[in-house]
Amino acid sequence: MTFSFDDATRVEAVGDGTYVGHVNDGWDIRGNANGGYVMALMNSAMRDASGRTDPISITLHYLAPLPPCRFEIATEVIKRGRRFTTVSASMIVDGRTAIRAIGAFGELADPAQGLHHVDIPRPDLPPFAQCRARDPHAENIPLALMSKLNMRLHPDDLGFAFGQPSGRSLMRGYFAFADERPIDTHAVLLAADAFAPPVFNLIEVPGWVPTVELTVHLRARPAPGPLSCSFEARAVQGGMFEEDGVIFDENGVLVAQSRQIGLVPL
């Protein structure tokens, strides 16, 4: 069997470090591809070009919204090092650069090995069954992405969906796939931007808050089971917001950290 996420993030190598593929329908928010899905598309090409197993640090600049379309990703291997291979890539749509990315790829070490100091609490979540799914057809906005995922939000953070923002710029919940695809580091990239922006709990009708830049650091390969995630926007200022995310696996191991900067209405 093939899983929906693998179908949707498949790219084909056509030589000279170039890959082709499609922005699939169904991985969007209001018609434009989700930022985490786009990061996974870039990872499909960049990781393949690197010949390594895991994205370690990956940064995307989002230069254009992406409705379903055919794309080309041109990769450039900048350096093949012992520890990491560093790769740059451009997603080209209709002759225009829609995404530019850079990343370091390698093999994540066992998180239990060596010096260990993690001073980040695991997201404080009620049990999975007590968290709430968003209805992909409700809220008057098409949330196609939600039908692909088994995401559950902390009940305290769901107010934004009903016109009652909590006043705390926080979004916590579980991430899993609807078709139970196992979660690897490739899928963690989707999780890093699949949740509703925490600023939605600050401002009532925020509209679209486009990401300018997103960086994800992978810190361990996840154990089986849903991811526990927490996203917080601690600095909204000058028409921009910063958002930090932490992602843990079922064993309480830190799997990834994310940070993005994006635009809010001034």
> Taking CB under 8 A as the rule, does residue 84 contact a second copy?
yes
CB of 215 to a second copy, least distance (A): 5
Q: Which one, of 146, 35, 135, lies nearest residue 91 by Cα?
A: 35
> Taking CB under 8 A as the rule, does residue 228 contact a second copy?
no
CB of 34 to a second copy, least distance (A): 20
Q: Site for a second copy (CB under 8 A): which residue of 92, 93, 108, 223?
A: 108
Dihedral sign for Cα 138, 139, 144, 147, please: negative
Q: What is d(CA 68, CA 34) in angstroms, rounded to the nearest whole number?
A: 11
> Taking CB under 8 A as the rule, does residue 116 contact a second copy?
yes
* Candidates 4-12, 134-142, 145-153, 232-240; binding stretch for a second copy (CB under 8 A): 232-240
Q: Please spell the DSSP secondary structure of 137-153, one letter per residue.
A: T-TTS--HHHHHB--EE
174 Cβ contact list (under 8 Å, min separation 6):
125, 128, 131, 150, 151, 152, 226, 227, 228, 229
81 Cβ contact list (under 8 Å, min separation 6):
none
CB of 60 to a second copy, least distance (A): 9
CB of 152 to a second copy, least distance (A): 25
Q: Which class for 77: exposed (0-12), middle (13-18), buried (19 or more C-beta within 10 A)?
A: middle
CB of 28 to a second copy, least distance (A): 22
Q: Which one, of 185, 187, 183, 141, lies nearest residue 37 by Cα?
A: 187
> Taking CB under 8 A as the rule, does residue 100 contact a second copy?
yes
CB of 263 to a second copy, least distance (A): 7
Q: Site for a second copy (CB under 8 A): which residue of 29, 39, 102, 192?
A: 102
> Taking CB under 8 A as the rule, does residue 252 contact a second copy?
no
Chain residues binding a second copy by CB under 8 A are 56-57, 59, 61, 63, 78-79, 81, 83-84, 86, 88, 90, 97, 100, 102, 104, 108-111, 113-120, 169, 202-203, 212-213, 215, 217, 219-220, 232-240, 242, 254, 257, 259, 261, 263-266
